[in-house]
């Protein structure tokens, strides 16, 4: 697309992006857009507003996901979109780029005079990041039945508020959550556009790519039980300090991951009682582990668990490691993936280590993803960025793909 012809898309992109960007923006501290908070409700209002502007009826399904329809809601729809929530201190693009691009692709198709042969839906999946309740992709996991509704209702945030309480306070019915066959039956195909969260496209010199696979990944809670005591009076030899084996475990995780070709991250820690002058009684830390194949993920977690147990024993500390969520390897279906790549004139096809709702949906409907180049490869950080030119190319690519998929 030439700069002259993409000017209207660029202007629309900038206008919509500006409006969305202010919601939940913490400036240098990044975005804090957590599920079922006041900020989330503002994001949902923004979504409904965008749908209304386009005359697209908007509905919230039983699991809190939002759907805006071009055409009569029904089976076989081509669905596109992503999520609007963020990690703590997140960037502007992870999630929202897919939702904004979806609305703008609808605009572009209408401008082209396209009459889709099947309905098109724009979706905003609830709580993709799991930043508040610890489990990622809650909306799509509930929709597809891979998350038990009772377990979901009982999830607690850092203040002890359950997901059920948070949903009720936000005007949603937690009693209605769970596998939704009617909503699922409407999805003929799902295409999620997302900012790339690494440097694959930068290295390839391509603005847009197609996803091949999502690495298997999961979250494990590691709890180190020690004994609280006085920082100034307790001899080193008498301490049962859980921080010590935790620190060793962090270092061991890096070594293990390096040896096995995996990724292992401790990004969240709760220290009890969390006082400068108190030896902690307990450290809870969350391990995020990912690898190209499932055996390597499990081997990584087993080796880190063994290292934690050994370190804990050396300090008179007890450690427990519990799985909290797990997503198996996702290999996107080759026919749809290749169709997208061909529609885009031979776009590169590449894997990712990041999780997405598309991964959850892939076992229920033909599913594919488009990635938009991220110049620094940084994500889950306020530094996350995509150039406006590449975002516009992404919108056009998504419109091309939707046009192709709704032609017959
Ligand atoms: C979410 O973006 C994840 O990959 O954890
Ligand atoms: Mn993310
Ligand atoms: Mn995302
Ligand atoms: Mn994600």
Q: What is the CATH number of the domain that holds 116?
A: 3.40.630.10
Ligand 1 contacts CB of residue 30 (under 6 A) = no
Ligand 1 touching residue 127 (CB < 6 A): no
Residue 359 Cβ < 6 Å to ligand 1: no
For residues 94 and 235, membership in a common domain is answered with no
Query: Using a 6 Å cutoff on CB, does residue 354 contact ligand 1?
Result: yes
Mean pLDDT for 317-327 is 96
Q: pLDDT at residue 265 above 70?
A: yes
Percent of the chain past pLDDT 70, that is, above it, reads 99
Rounded CA separation 247/239 (Å): 15
223 and 238 share a domain? yes
Q: Are 177 and 57 in a shared domain?
A: yes
Residues 253 and 398 in one domain: no
- Asked whether residue 211 falls in the same domain as residue 233, the answer is no
Instruction: Kindly give the distance from the C-alpha atom of residue 357 to the centroid of ligand 3, in angstroms, as a whole number.
Output: 8
Residue that finishes a domain, picked among 312, 327, 342:
327
pLDDT average, residue stretch 271-286: 98
Q: Comparing 6-10, 244-248, 298-302, which segment has the lowest mean pLDDT?
A: 6-10
Mutate which of 135, 136, 357 for ligand 1 pocket (most atoms within 8 A of beta carbon): 136
Query: And the tokens for 52?
Result: 């209304």
User: Quick check: CB of 90 below 6 Å from ligand 1?
Assistant: no
Domain carrying residue 34: 3-215+329-405
For residue range 234-257, list pLDDT tens digits in order.
Answer: 999 999 999 999 999 999 999 999
Q: What is the pLDDT of residues 366-403, one digit of tens each?
A: 999 999 999 999 999 999 999 999 999 999 999 999 99
Indicate if ligand 1 lies below 6 Å from the C-beta of 129: yes
CATH of the domain at 239: 3.30.70.360
Contact 103, 54 (CB under 8 A): yes
Question: Does residue 241 line the site of ligand 1, with CB under 6 A?
Answer: no
Q: What φ, ψ does residue 13 adopt, rounded to 5°?
A: -60, -50
Residues 72, 137, 39: CA angle, nearest 5 degrees: 80
Mean pLDDT of 278-302: 98
The predicted model scores a pTM of 0.94
| 380 CA closest ligand 1 atom index | 2
Q: What is the pLDDT of residue 58?
A: 98
Q: pLDDT-derived band of residue 4, with 50, 70 and 90 as boundaries?
A: low
| Cα angle 402-42-395, degrees, rounded to a multiple of 5 | 20
* Mean pLDDT in residue range 311-334: 97
Across 143-155, average pLDDT: 98
* Domain stops at, among 261, 293, 327: 327
Whether 8 and 110 share a structural domain:
yes
Q: Which long-range contacts (CB under 8 A, 24 or more apart) does 235-242 make?
A: 239/279, 239/315, 240/279, 240/315, 240/316, 240/317, 241/279, 241/280, 241/315, 241/317, 242/280, 242/281, 242/282, 242/283, 242/312, 242/315, 242/317
Radius of gyration (C-alpha) of the chain in whole angstroms = 22
Do 39 and 60 lie in a common domain? yes
Residues 76 and 199 occupy one common structural domain: yes
* Distance of alpha carbon 406 from alpha carbon 367, whole angstroms: 14
Q: Is the per-residue pLDDT at 2 higher than 90?
A: no
6 falls in which pLDDT band (50, 70, 90)?
A: confident
How far does the centroid of ligand 4 lie from the alpha carbon of residue 81, in Å? 13
Check pocket membership of 355 for ligand 1, CB cut-off 6 A: yes
Q: Which residues contact 375 (CB under 8 A, 6 or more apart)?
A: 202, 385, 386, 387
Pick from 300, 327, 354: which residue ends a domain?
327
How many alpha carbons lie under 13 Å from residue 267 in its C-beta half-sphere?
A: 13
Q: Is the CB of 245 under 6 A from ligand 1?
A: no
Cβ–ligand 1 distance for 216 under 6 Å, the answer no
Count of beta carbons in the 10 Å neighbourhood of residue 17:
17
User: Do the bridges between strand 187-195 and strand 77-83 make them parallel or antiparallel, or are there none, so unpaired?
Assistant: parallel
Q: For ligand 1, is residue 85 a contact (CB within 6 Å)?
A: no
In this predicted structure, what is the pLDDT of residue 1? 45
Q: What is the mean pLDDT of the chain?
A: 97
238 and 352, same domain (yes or no): no
Ligand 3 centre distance from Cα of residue 214 (Å): 12
Give, for ligand 1, the residue of 86, 127, 129 to mutate: max count of ligand atoms closer than 8 Å to Cβ: 129
Above 70 in pLDDT, residue 206? yes
118 Cβ neighbours under 8 A, 6+ residues apart: 71, 76, 77, 78, 188, 406
pLDDT digits (tens, 9 = 90+) for 340-360: 999 999 999 999 999 999 999
Yes or no: say if 55 and 107 are a contact pair by the CB < 8 Å rule. no
Give the count of domains, the chain.
Answer: 2
Q: Is the pLDDT of residue 5 over 90?
A: no
Instruction: Give residue 247 CA to ligand 3 midpoint distance, Å.
Output: 29
CA distances from 362 to 28, 359, 368, 395, 404 (A): 35, 5, 8, 22, 20
How confident is the model at residue 247, as a pLDDT? 98
If one residue of 31, 84, 85, 87 were mutated to test the ligand 1 pocket, choosing by the most ligand atoms within 8 A of its CB, it would be: 87
CB 382 within 8 A of CB 30: yes
Closest ligand to the CA of 91: 2
Check whether 140 has a pLDDT greater than 90.
yes
373 and 306 in one domain? no
325 Cα: distance to centroid of ligand 4 (angstroms) = 13
Regarding the beta carbon of 263 and ligand 1, being less than 6 Å apart is answered no
Report residue 382 as tokens: 């306020």
Q: Examine the pLDDT at 142 and tell me if it is beyond 50.
A: yes
Of 84, 357, 380, which is best to mutate to test ligand 1, by the most ligand atoms within 8 angstroms of its C-beta? 380
Report the nearest atom of ligand 1 relative to the CA of 94: 2
Our CA angle for 401, 191, 99, nearest 5°, is 100
d(CA 382, ligand 2 centre) in Å: 12
Which of 179, 123, 129 shows the shortest CA–CA distance to 367?
A: 123
Q: Which residues pair with 400 in a beta bridge?
A: none
- Residue 195: closest CA among 4, 2, 12, 376: 376
Classify the C-alpha dihedral 361-365-213-199 as positive or negative: negative
Q: Which residues contact 195 (CB under 8 A, 6 or more apart)?
A: 91, 93, 94, 97, 371, 372, 374, 379, 384, 386
């Amino acid at each position: 697309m030439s700069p002259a012809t993409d000017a209207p898309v660029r202007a629309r992109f900038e206008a919509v992006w500006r409006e969305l960007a202010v919601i939940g923006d913490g400036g240098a501290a990044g975005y804090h857009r957590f599920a079922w908070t006041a900020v989330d409700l503002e994001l949902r209002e923004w979504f409904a507003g965008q749908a209304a502007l386009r005359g697209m009826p908007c509905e919230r399904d039983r699991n809190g996901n939002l759907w805006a329809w071009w055409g009569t809601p029904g089976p076989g729809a081509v669905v596109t979109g992503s999520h609007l929530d963020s990690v703590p201190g997140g960037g502007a693009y992870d999630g929202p780029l897919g939702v904004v691009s979806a609305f703008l692709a609808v605009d572009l198709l209408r401008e082209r005079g396209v009459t889709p042969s099947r309905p098109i839906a724009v979706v905003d999946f609830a709580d993709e990041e799991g930043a508040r309740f610890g489990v990622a992709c809650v909306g799509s996991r509930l929709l597809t039945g891979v998350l038990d509704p009772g377990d979901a209702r009982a999830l607690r945030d850092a203040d002890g508020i359950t997901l059920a309480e948070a949903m009720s306070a936000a005007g949603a019915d937690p009693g209605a959550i769970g596998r939704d066959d009617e909503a699922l039956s409407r999805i003929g195909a799902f295409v999620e556009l997302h900012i790339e969260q690494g440097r694959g496209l930068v290295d390839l010199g391509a603005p847009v790519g197609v996803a091949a696979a999502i690495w298997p990944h999961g979250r494990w809670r590691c709890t180190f039980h020690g004994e609280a005591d006085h920082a100034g009076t307790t001899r080193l030899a008498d301490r049962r300090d859980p921080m010590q084996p935790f620190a060793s475990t962090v270092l061991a995780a890096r070594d293990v991951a390096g040896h096995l070709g995996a990724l292992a991250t401790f990004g969240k820690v709760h220290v009890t009682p969390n006082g400068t002058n108190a030896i902690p009684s307990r450290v809870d830390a969350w391990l995020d582990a990912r690898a190209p194949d499932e055996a390597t993920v499990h081997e990584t977690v087993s080796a880190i668990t063994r290292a934690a147990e050994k370190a804990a024993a050396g300090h008179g500390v007890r450690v427990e490691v519990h799985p909290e969520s797990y997503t198996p390897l996702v290999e996107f279906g080759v026919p749809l993936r290749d169709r997208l790549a061909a529609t885009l004139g031979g776009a590169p096809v590449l894997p990712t280590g990041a999780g997405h709702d598309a991964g959850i949906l892939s076992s229920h409907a033909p599913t594919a993803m488009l990635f938009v180049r991220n110049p620094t490869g940084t994500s889950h950080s306020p530094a996350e960025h995509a150039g406006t030119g590449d975002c516009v190319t992404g919108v056009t690519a998504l419109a091309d793909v939707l046009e192709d998929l709704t032609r017959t």
